[in-house]
Structure 1
């Protein structure tokens, strides 16, 4: 996996962190104060700290309790950081600290991970993996891990699946069956049928999961933003089709406008569960909202369809592997940290499933995973359709190249917005996308 910036030394990152956050993802929730540095509190007792972005009550508390009970000489403390700009800056600051540095840390997405790996914060794992006896290929699959210069710096703990969530009552009333294999053209057609009164037939979160970006990924899962000449892939016919598909949803009145979505910061799950949309593009991470009848009381069941493809027969899932676990290069207990990670990836993260986090363990029992995901909420969803999605073999995207990646996403959003809001035509949009993206990549490589 290539770094976001070339040659960003640890000292430079430290200077950056002193003044500003260096990247942006989204997250929410409260944060637990940072703990004490890793120490041997008494002879024979080793204490590790692990920083992650998931609230303790959503699984980490149970994970740590199970480990600590079985390993009295190797105790782990979990510290929550909020997975947003300031929270990630706090983690980066802790990683270069001499007093509060965690032994284990979890990055969410390649952008944050690349930044930390490039700054020397992540320890090489290959020798530690070998010493621990952890079988990467048997548990996760070597093909699901991206190495940097043939070296492993992280292991993914979560497999997220993208899918479409549909109001089953409205679907039945429209006389349609639940799609099992379908295209985005078919999605557009169904959205028209599911638009009833004030309820739109579709909702796609903007500016995050826009169809131009999705279409690029479906057509080219690996390094979707880049072509084989080292420039942008923003002249792709797939990108153009994605733009036109999303524009159709707006123009036909089958989806709330771009301006309203962005200005009101509309949330995907809220649109479905408050009856404002009958079909949404989401993922397994939304299952916690499916089960939340306190905040979202409703009378309909939720059915699940796979994410649509550009062409019939495609098997790309636009989500993929996340919760990237690394060991701090400064930790004095790397072997102990690897021992915990091996256990976590083999069995320990079972406690995370109920919160919507599917283990990357290939040996995990799919029916058991589904049971834990559903919990006592089987009456609220079509469980069989969920199981079909869980049992399908997918091709997942991989981001290896990262030159100007954040800037390219910004450019894609800005130019798409102009087209969606009728400020510029499709041809001008495509020209601007390609020119701006190529320029950004060239500038980043200087």
Structure 2
């Protein structure tokens, strides 16, 4: 009888144990058992095995040019917050892809804006988070006075993280052979003369990346106004005319720079053309370093020197150049992990982004280690650059800067008209008249 009682008691214990184990395993609807809840309550609600928070950052720089190393460094140091980098091409299609991803609720926690107009549109669409809610990081103090150019309606909807110099890259050996010094202050008329002297029998003397192509106009109108005192278009400013005439003459008479039609239809790879030694001067931004440090794909046998972008205005005291700060990184207003994204953004801005310098992106924060960035920028190719001119355009040039803020619609309409001029489809007067008329229409529609 005692033996039977022991058997019954043992069976009952087995049933009880089985029930407990089943309870610990959860049930079909995904809710934890009361036993698990009681255990959680007893240890203050902490999870015993917490999964890392996962963030996604979208940017336009190829992963191998710095972003992946940045992400790997963060992920190694922060096992509780893991980040994935997604590259989009910084063109119309690529920016549309990013916007679509955010609007449709795909994984985007942080994203890079490359123009203030892009950032403004995303803010107006409710996609960029107002960063004024965070009070532990003073963007103006960290980044300096140029940061204010990125404010939208008086607030920051992102952090401008990089110094963004634009310059004329020059073949130093070609300059020396022609007896030409590396300029520190010059005009477009002087660049035109350089191009004549550097032009070979079967080559151009000067080419341009299309992104900064129109910067000379904006360097003037960003200061004097895109509209006149009466509210009408200022696209007939005399220096707009001078820019058009100068380039058209270089294309068609001097034959020192490619006709615009040729450059657009051939999709000329201007970086490759410059780095191969075919053309000795290139108007571009700091992203050139991404390619010029890559001797595998872009082998070269010459030293690169750097000059500021020339001015249209007569006096250097009146000149501003495009540059200042860039790579305006925003947090998606719809992100479920805004606090974690903010912690990453602060870390990135204050030095975590140092590997980005390999692609020409220097950290803007006063607390970033510039020596680390410079070492990353030059790598083992230091002796292939003219360091004096590089340091000047990257760090020492005190020319005031502007950030292009013109609405995309105006940029498009003026490009459509000046392309007709360069293609020979309309005269200079017709071009100016058309730009002004279309700009005035835009202004009236957006009063």
- Equivalent pair of 1:54/1:80 in contact (CA under 8 Å): yes
Contact 2:170 2:282 in 1 (8 A): yes
Q: Which moved more, 1:258-267 or 1:213-222?
A: 213-222
Q: 1:338 to 1:269 in 2, by over 3 A?
A: same
Residues 1:395 and 2:400 are matched in the alignment: yes
- Structure 1 residue 296, shift from structure 2 partner: 2.9
Per-residue deviation, 1:355: 1.6
* Alpha-carbon distance in 2 for matches of 1:352, 1:300: 24
Structure 1 CA distance for aligned equivalents of residues 82 and 409 of structure 2: 41
Q: Once structures 1 and 2 are overlaid, which stretch shifts more, 164-173 or 219-228?
A: 219-228
Match of 1:380 among 368, 371, 384: 384
Unaligned runs of 5+ in 1: 1-39
Offset, 1:227? 4.2
Aligned pairs (5 A) from 1:10-159: 43=50, 45-98=52-105, 100-128=106-134, 130=135, 133-141=136-144, 143-145=146-148, 146-159=150-163
RMSD (Å) for aligned C-alpha atoms: 2.4
Q: Deviations over 1:234-284 (max 9, x none)?
A: 111121111111122111111122221121111221221233311111121
Offset from partner CA, 1:171-207 (integer Å, 9 cap, x none): 111111111111111111111111122121111245x
Deviation at 1:83, TM superposition (A): 2.8
Summarize the Cα distance change of 1:433–1:86 in structure 2 as closer, same or farther, 3 Å threshold: closer
In structure 2, runs of 5+ residues without a counterpart are 1-46
**Alpha carbons of 1:79 and 1:418: their partners in 2 closer, same or farther (altered >3 Å)?**
closer
Comparing 119-128 with 265-274, which one deviates more in the overlay? 265-274
Show the 5 A alignment for 1:407-422. 407-422=409-424
Offset of residue 386 of structure 1: 0.4
Question: Which whole-Å CA distance do the structure 2 matches of 1:298 and 1:167 have between them?
Answer: 10
Match of 1:171 in 2: 175
Q: 2:61, 2:87 within 8 Å by CA — same for their partners in 1?
A: yes
Greater share of residues in helix: 2
Q: Aligned to 2:287, what secondary structure does the other structure show?
A: helix
* Distance across 2 between alignment mates of 1:267 and 1:337: 36
Match of 1:243 in 2: 244
Residues in 1 aligned to 2:112 and 2:147: alpha-carbon distance in whole angstroms? 17
Inter-CA distance 393–95: structure 2 relative to 1 (3 Å threshold): same
- Flag the 1:224–1:54 CA change in 2: closer, same or farther, 3 A: farther
Distance 1:41 1:47, change over 3 A: farther
1:273 aligns with 2:280: no
* Cα distance in 2 for residues equivalent to 1:237 and 1:180: 25
CA distance in 2, matches of 1:339, 1:374: 29
Aligned structure 1 segments of 4 or more residues deviating by more than 6 angstroms: none
Deviation string, structure 1 residues 138-179 (Cα, Å, up to 9, x no partner):
211254233233322111122211111111121111111111
Inter-CA distance 82–235: structure 2 relative to 1 (3 Å threshold): same
Give the CA deviation at 1:93. Answer: 2.7
2:218 aligned partner: 217
Mean CA deviation greater in 115-124 or 78-87? 78-87
* Higher gyration radius (CA): 2
Deviation at 1:126, TM superposition (A): 0.7
Aligned to 2:20: none
After alignment, is 433-442 or 405-414 more displaced? 405-414
CA gap of 1:426–1:81, structure 2 versus 1, over 3 A, is closer
Tell me the distance in 2 between the aligned counterparts of 1:92 and 1:303.
38
State the distance in 2 between where 1:46 and 1:369 align: 29
- For 1:163 and 1:41, how far apart are their aligned partners in 2? 55
TM-score normalised over the length of structure 2: 0.81
Quick one: structure 1 residues 231 and 134, their matched pair in 2 at CA, closer, same or farther if it must change by over 3 Å?
A: same
Retained in 1: the 8 A contact 2:115–2:404? Answer: no
Q: Which moved more, 1:311-320 or 1:193-202?
A: 311-320
Question: Is the Cα–Cα contact under 8 Å of residues 199 and 275 in structure 1 kept in the other structure?
Answer: no
